[in-house]
Amino acid sequence: MKKKEIDERAMDSALRPGQWGEYVGQEKIKENLQLIIKAAKLRGEAIDHLLFYGQAGLGKTTLATLVAKEMGAPLRVITGSSIEKPGDLAALLSGLEEGEILFVDEAHRLNPVAEEILYPAMESRRLHILIGKGTGAHAVSIDLPPFTLVAATTHFNMLSAPLRSRFGAIFRLDFYGENEIEEILKRSAKILGVEADPAGLEILARASRFTPRTANRLLKRARDYAAVNQSDEIDAAIARAVLRMLELDELGLEPVERRLLELLAYKFKKGPVGIKTLAAASGEEQGAIEEIYEPYLMKLGFLKRTPAGRVLEEAALDHLAKQEDDDFPLEQP
């Protein structure tokens, strides 16, 4: 690993909230989780299996680490795609300690055979495995220690229904409010030891796509920019310069997203247009449009999904018009 990568990683772990008080927003989820944890502690039991889902960078992994910390339980982290053979999962489960938390990230990437091992393991804490092959094969069933499965996914609908139904609680993480993002930025600036004035923070917050990870990333770039330009503070001018450098507009929209909006506005006359047509016209993959760009555009009120196709909203036209007056000239056909 290059030194810069190591530095970035160290920075990321320094920025990750280490206790509930530092985890900004998602109040309802925090409240519910704390209740679940408290009750489990009172009963002296492992907590129910938990599922967190929502867009990338909203704080799912962070929540899992906080749950483990609060329970005083060891946390073992795997990703759905790392389980290649059913035996891998069986070995992992039977090696768990009592009360241990198994965190399965990207749970939608678990293969179906692994899922089938998980069902009884989650439900009755038993492991059913087949030993031997052909006519000599026989099933054995092993008791597992009480453990908790915490799963996270960005693709809730890709989880099978039987898997979903085995979680004791399911939490959907939503985008953050602009004030919450500002609060996160302030905390991060303090940790990174960089000064930022309110105007600078506000600009970064507005471009953060209501997402903590994006906010922290912008802040780090702004910190770099300030350092290189011998400025000791991130002010409005620096914040704007960083966005320009990253080719982001004031709402954090990337060139491809502005291009999608333009296509919808000018070529497709605000729609409705089918997602496949939009993908073909933009040269972007349908999956990327649906999973990365659209959620934020919909959150902004720029785009609507209707049965007839995608429809552009008035607010998007206003935004496009505004950008044309600003630093971001947009081509019109």
Q: Let me know: does 185 contact 66? Beta carbons within 8 Å.
A: no
Contacts with Mg ion in 13-72 (CB under 5 A)?
A: 60-61
Contacts with ligand ATP in 96-155 (CB under 6 A)?
A: 152, 154
Spatial distance between the Cα atoms of 269 and 265, rounded to a whole number of angstroms: 5
Active site residue 79: no
Active site residue 213: yes
- Judged by CB, which is closer to Mg ion: 69, or 270? 69
Spatial distance between the Cα atoms of 305 and 177, rounded to a whole number of angstroms: 22
Residue 53 touches which member of Mg ion, ligand ATP, none, C-beta under 5-8 Å by kind: none
Residue 212 touches which member of Mg ion, ligand ATP, none, C-beta under 5-8 Å by kind: ligand ATP
Contacts with ligand ATP in 8-47 (CB under 6 A)?
A: 12, 15-17, 23-26
Spatial distance between the Cα atoms of 50 and 107, rounded to a whole number of angstroms: 12
Tokens of 135: 């006519």
Runs of H (alpha helix) within 142-211: 161-164, 178-192, 198-206
Residue 184 touches which member of ligand ATP, Mg ion, none, C-beta under 5-8 Å by kind: ligand ATP
Q: What's the residue count for the chain? A: 333
Spatial distance between the Cα atoms of 279 and 289, rounded to a whole number of angstroms: 7
Choosing from 11, 20, 32, 61, the residue that interacts with ligand ATP (CB under 6 A) is 61
Q: Is 293 helix (H, G, I), strand (E, B) or coil?
A: helix
Per the DSSP assignment, residues forming a β-bridge with 150 are 50, 103
Residue 248 touches which member of Mg ion, ligand ATP, none, C-beta under 5-8 Å by kind: none
Spatial distance between the Cα atoms of 105 and 92, rounded to a whole number of angstroms: 15
Tokens of 128: 């059913």
Is residue 82 involved in binding Mg ion (CB under 5 A)?
no
Is residue 208 involved in binding ligand ATP (CB under 6 A)?
no
Choosing from 200, 212, 252, 295, the residue that interacts with ligand ATP (CB under 6 A) is 212
Footprint on this chain of Mg ion (rule: CB under 5 A)? 60-61
Which residues are tagged catalytic?
60-61, 105, 154, 213
Footprint on this chain of ligand ATP (rule: CB under 6 A)? 12, 15-17, 23-26, 56-62, 152, 154, 184, 212-213, 216
